[in-house]
A and B are shown apart, each in its own frame.
Chain A
């Protein structure tokens, strides 16, 4: 059997030289670059409390949707993934479809937020955000669009306050936290969450980022930056790359108590699907979620495996449940070209039918 390596030495030398040339030529371009901005879709703050802000996102035309949609993002990273840049913005695409979009920017917790619990977040902050949007529109209920951990929060909130939610959209949302391919969940099973939070207080963003990077260490810590050399001479691509780097690493610390509960009850206890979850003394029963539900998951999601999301079908009480698979990953579902064409129109169509 012959070797499949047919690398001509002269060509290999040329390849190495070319890499070095690109590297050397590209380095000066990195120096002095300004911080890449997000899309910054026009918006107005309609509610503020502590560090959170509810933004009303403003489109180029008046919304046609009768019921506003409130985006509930995760506490990890920032909500600006949904409005990353003008041509990669879930928010702009929803606005263009005629939806009336609000989103919650949770802000950056510090030591003063160390004791915020999931009860404070869901029955406190989130409930008051929903009330603020309801009051603005004079409605009993609004649509929720929960993303990742924010999707799990939206499910819990809907189960506890069903009268305030009209339709529920979940995106890349973990429901069953103990699927065999869930690496994050696997790692955290033997971690002493009490010791962890009692020691650290708030969980530093840098630590969270490191954990995420080590899910795919060679790809995320090396290959990605080797590939960056190829775009050093392409200003637009380089800017996009650096914008994504900004979003990845510009992430908030996690409020200690909420983190403790999330790890113990969701990841370790898997109580959301067991039906044993309580938040602030209130039972959280997914069977209480009888609203129409659209569950969108990513088929190549390494953070929230598809099975973790699809489990919702078996536990939700709604008889109007729709699943939408997306060909992409956990981030690609917001920023890929396919996502721009498919995701917002699908959400709009689904909402318009209800």
Chain B
């Protein structure tokens, strides 16, 4: 029974593949007459060697890195790890070619090999390259772990389908169409995937893969930014830094504006109002005292220091109400 189910599944999957291929072909825009339909992005052609090299790296085999285009070999010792530290490029030579060649070779070292101690004038570049190589290796390793879990989910999906079919057989139920079988497989595959996706193993693999990809991307960005700075091109890091400062200023500005209505400034206003009321009260008592004495005053009574500062020379305005 299981064999029969497998056979149907394989047949159905082959059919689905053919259908999707046909559909995708149908969705392609018609090729222009005489146009290069096989090169949709001709301007990307210059990147092909780089992409080939990345593809070689991604393949992950120990010595799989494809040969880098000949660079003229300005560094005869480039094959020796750390060689660029001693080598001096001849005038007119491309200084980047040497470290690219060394890099290529360093990256092709067996996985897990300890990095060579960095030293010399290019020490920092060596460290960067080693970090990049390590990040690539980590990406490959974590990606492979994740893929293995997906494959396990796929296998368990098929096993679940077989179990479902067995249950149906026991219950006397039947699957009478390819569509019904496909839907049954989808349910089984999703169930198996959900079970694995909620395991600790999957969580760890997912986190490790994400973190490895971010490490690699960050290193790549650092390299690009380094090149950009040398060329005088503004970098994302600089733009981010400006953005961060601008956002901080905006926050501070809003805080200050907010304070004007409800914060520290309002408290100062309230304090002034309170002082003004006290002053009014004090002056009111003094006027009463003057009237009660009923005698001429030759000299204005001395007001308290605060009142002297706050009191206007003539008519006092009404105390300001609190906002």
Minimum CB–CB distance from A222 to chain B (whole Å) comes to 8
Q: Is B314 an interface residue (CB 8 A)?
A: no
Is there an interface contact between A114 and B178, defined as CB atoms closer than 8 Å?
no
- Classify the interface of chain A: helix, strand, loop or mixed: helix
Q: Which residue on chain A has the smallest CB distance to residue B171?
A: A4
Is there an interface contact between B198 and A199, defined as CB atoms closer than 8 Å?
no
Q: Is A323 an interface residue (CB 8 A)?
A: no
Q: Is B235 an interface residue (CB 8 A)?
A: no
* Contact residues of A between 1 and 57, Cβ < 8 Å to B: 1-8, 11-12, 15-16, 19-20, 23-24, 27, 30
Is there an interface contact between B182 and A226, defined as CB atoms closer than 8 Å?
yes
Is there an interface contact between B4 and A190, defined as CB atoms closer than 8 Å?
no
- Residues of A contacting B166 in the complex (Cβ-Cβ under 8 angstroms): 1
- Residues of B contacting A192 in the complex (Cβ-Cβ under 8 angstroms): 207, 210-211, 214
Q: Which residue on chain A has the smallest CB distance to residue B207?
A: A190
Q: Which residue on chain A has the smallest CB distance to residue B2?
A: A3
Q: Is B173 an interface residue (CB 8 A)?
A: yes
Q: How far is the CA of A111 from the CA of B254 in the complex (A)?
A: 21
Q: Is B33 an interface residue (CB 8 A)?
A: no
- Residues of A contacting B288 in the complex (Cβ-Cβ under 8 angstroms): none
* Contact residues of A between 168 and 195, Cβ < 8 Å to B: 180-181, 183, 186-192, 195
What's the tally of chain B residues with a CB closer than 8 Å to chain A? 57
Is there an interface contact between B177 and A20, defined as CB atoms closer than 8 Å?
no
Is there an interface contact between B183 and A223, defined as CB atoms closer than 8 Å?
yes
Of the candidates B182, B193, B197, B217, which one forms a contact with A187 in the assembled complex, judged by CB atoms under 8 Å apart? Answer: B197
* Contact residues of B between 140 and 197, Cβ < 8 Å to A: 157, 165-166, 168-170, 173-179, 181-183, 186, 189-190, 193-194, 197
Of the candidates A16, A115, A189, A191, which one forms a contact with B244 in the assembled complex, judged by CB atoms under 8 Å apart? Answer: A115
- Classify the interface of chain B: helix, strand, loop or mixed: helix
Is there an interface contact between A120 and B169, defined as CB atoms closer than 8 Å?
no
Q: How far is the CA of A20 from the CA of B4 in the complex (A)?
A: 24
Is there an interface contact between B170 and A1, defined as CB atoms closer than 8 Å?
yes
Is there an interface contact between A5 and B215, defined as CB atoms closer than 8 Å?
no
Of the candidates B165, B193, B204, which one forms a contact with A4 in the assembled complex, judged by CB atoms under 8 Å apart? Answer: B165
Minimum CB–CB distance from A289 to chain B (whole Å) comes to 23
Q: Which residue on chain A has the smallest CB distance to residue B247?
A: A115
Is there an interface contact between A199 and B218, defined as CB atoms closer than 8 Å?
yes
Is there an interface contact between B247 and A15, defined as CB atoms closer than 8 Å?
no
Q: Is A200 an interface residue (CB 8 A)?
A: yes
- Residues of B contacting A120 in the complex (Cβ-Cβ under 8 angstroms): 247, 251
Minimum CB–CB distance from A87 to chain B (whole Å) comes to 28
Q: How far is the CA of A30 from the CA of B29 in the complex (A)?
A: 12
Q: Which residue on chain A has the smallest CB distance to residue B166?
A: A1
Q: How far is the CA of A19 from the CA of B51 in the complex (A)?
A: 38
Of the candidates B27, B176, B198, B244, which one forms a contact with A6 in the assembled complex, judged by CB atoms under 8 Å apart? Answer: B176
Q: Which residue on chain A has the smallest CB distance to residue B157?
A: A218
Is there an interface contact between B203 and A190, defined as CB atoms closer than 8 Å?
yes
Q: How far is the CA of A217 from the CA of B157 in the complex (A)?
A: 13
- Residues of B contacting A12 in the complex (Cβ-Cβ under 8 angstroms): 177-178
Is there an interface contact between B240 and A15, defined as CB atoms closer than 8 Å?
no
* Contact residues of B between 59 and 101, Cβ < 8 Å to A: none
- Residues of B contacting A219 in the complex (Cβ-Cβ under 8 angstroms): 186, 190
- Residues of B contacting A198 in the complex (Cβ-Cβ under 8 angstroms): 218
A-binding segment of B15-23, B102-110, B115-123, B302-310: B15-23
Q: Is A196 an interface residue (CB 8 A)?
A: yes
Q: How far is the CA of A11 from the CA of B181 in the complex (A)?
A: 13
Is there an interface contact between A186 and B197, defined as CB atoms closer than 8 Å?
yes
Given the contacts A3-B165, A4-B174, A219-B186, A187 and B211 also touching, CB distance less than 8 Å: no
- Residues of A contacting B204 in the complex (Cβ-Cβ under 8 angstroms): 190
Is there an interface contact between A7 and B208, defined as CB atoms closer than 8 Å?
no
Minimum CB–CB distance from A203 to chain B (whole Å) comes to 11
Q: Is A124 an interface residue (CB 8 A)?
A: yes
Is there an interface contact between B240 and A201, defined as CB atoms closer than 8 Å?
yes
Is there an interface contact between A201 and B210, defined as CB atoms closer than 8 Å?
no
Is there an interface contact between A5 and B174, defined as CB atoms closer than 8 Å?
yes
Given the contacts A4-B169, A199-B218, A187 and B206 also touching, CB distance less than 8 Å: yes
Minimum CB–CB distance from B55 to chain A (whole Å) comes to 21
Minimum CB–CB distance from A118 to chain B (whole Å) comes to 13
Is there an interface contact between A112 and B243, defined as CB atoms closer than 8 Å?
yes
Is there an interface contact between B175 and A15, defined as CB atoms closer than 8 Å?
no
Q: Is A216 an interface residue (CB 8 A)?
A: yes
Is there an interface contact between A30 and B27, defined as CB atoms closer than 8 Å?
yes
Query: What would be 30 A-B contacts, judged by CB atoms less than 8 Å apart?
Result: A1-B166, A1-B169, A1-B170, A4-B173, A5-B165, A6-B174, A7-B175, A7-B176, A12-B178, A16-B15, A23-B19, A27-B23, A27-B27, A30-B27, A111-B240, A112-B243, A112-B246, A120-B251, A183-B194, A187-B206, A191-B206, A192-B210, A195-B211, A196-B211, A199-B218, A216-B194, A217-B193, A218-B186, A218-B193, A219-B186
Listed in ascending order, the chain A residues whose CB lies under 8 Å from chain B are: 1-8, 11-12, 15-16, 19-20, 23-24, 27, 30, 111-112, 114-116, 120, 124, 180-181, 183, 186-192, 195-196, 198-201, 215-219, 222-223, 226
Supplied contacts A15-B177, A186-B203, A199-B221, 9 more A-B pairs, CB within 8 Å: A5-B165, A16-B15, A19-B19, A111-B240, A115-B240, A115-B243, A183-B197, A190-B207, A218-B157
